[in-house]
Copies of this chain bind each other. A is one copy, B any other.
C-alpha cells in the first residue's frame, strides 16, 4: 500500500508542477520540452533530483540540457566526454543502469557532484532511444522516502522513457527543420538582393531593423520570428522584374516604375502558393503592403492607417530607412542621422508614429552604430 500512496503522491506533485509550468505561458521551445520530459520522469519515479543528458551533434560530447533538484542551476550545460561517467556509458550501450549505491560503482564520476554540491547516493540511468538510435539519457538521483531505487523503478523509467525519447527526437528535428527553413529564406533573399548591385544585403538589413523595432514595441518572441521571416521575403516579387529594369543605372521611366511597383503584387502572389495558408498569411500581406503609407498615398491598394497590417507598417519604415541610407545609382546614401530625421518628418503622414519612435529610439541607443547594435542583439530574434 505504501507504494501506491507514493505513486498517488507523485502524481499529485507532478500535476502541481505542471500547473506551475503552464503559468510561464512561454513558447514551446526545445528547452521547455527538455524541462517537461525531466519533470515528468522525476516525479513519476519519485526521485530527489534528475538530469537530462543529450548527445551533442558531433557525437563526441554529452551535455546536460535540463536538471531538476536542489543544485539544478549549477549542473545545466555541464559537458562530459561521451565515455566519461554513467550517463555516457548508457548512451553508448543503449542499456539502462541501476546503481543502488554510486560510491561502490567503478564507472562513477563525481565531477558533476563536485560542481553542484549535491550528494548522489542511488541512481537510475535510462537511455532515450528512437528508431534504435540513442539520443540521450535520463538520470534519476536518490529515491524519495527510500534509500535506494529498485528494479521496478527501472522498468517504470524505461517505459516512460519511450515517450520522452519521442518528444526529444521531435523537438530536435523541429529545431533543425526550422533552422533549415530560415536559412533557406535568408539565402533566397540574399541571392535576390544580389541581382541588383545596389541592394546587396537589403532584405537582411530590413529584417534586422524590423525586429529591433518590434522589440521596442514589446512584441512577443513568436511574432518577432514571424516578422523576421516576413521582412526577409518582402521583396521576393522582384524575382519577376527583368534584369534591365532592376539594374538600370539611370532614373526609371514612368512605365518602368509601374513595373517595379508590381513587385508587391507579384510577391504576394508567389507567396500565396505556400502551404499551410494560415501560417503564411502575415508573410503574404507584408510582401503586398510594405509600400502602403498611412495617408493612403502608397501602393498597390492605397490602404490607410490601421488598414495596413502592423508587419507591413514596420517593414515599410525599415525598408525606407535602408533605401535612404544605402548608395543607389542616383545617390550616395544619407547618413543614419539624416535618414532618421527624414522618418520623423514624415511620421503621421507616411509612417506609423509609434513605429518611427521605436526605430529612432533604437538608432539613438545604438549611437547610430548599427553594426554594434546587431552584434549585441543577435540572440534576441534569431531562431
Contact = CB atoms under 8 A, between A and B. Distances in A.
A163 B276 contact: no
B8 A155 contact: yes
A242 interface: yes
Closest 8 CB pairs between A and B? A170-B170, A183-B275, A187-B273, A183-B274, A243-B243, A167-B167, A14-B159, A181-B181
Interface of A: 1, 3-4, 7-8, 11-12, 14-15, 18, 22, 25, 27-28, 33, 36-37, 40, 43-44, 57, 130-132, 152, 155-156, 158-160, 162-164, 166-167, 169-171, 173-174, 176-181, 183-188, 190-192, 194-195, 239-240, 242-244, 270-271, 273-276, 279-280
B279 A180 contact: yes
Please classify the interface of chain A as helix (H, G, I), strand (E, B), loop, or mixed, using the class held by over half of its residues.
helix
Contact of A170 (B132, B164, B174, B244): B174
B279 A176 contact: yes
Contacts of A270: 187, 191
A11 B132 contact: no
A301 B333 CA distance: 42
Contact of A163 (B1, B37, B184): B37
Contacts of A274: 180, 183-184, 187
B170 A25 contact: no
A169 B36 contact: no
A277 B43 CA distance: 38
B180 A275 contact: yes
Given A3-B4, A12-B155, A36-B163, A181 B177 contact: yes
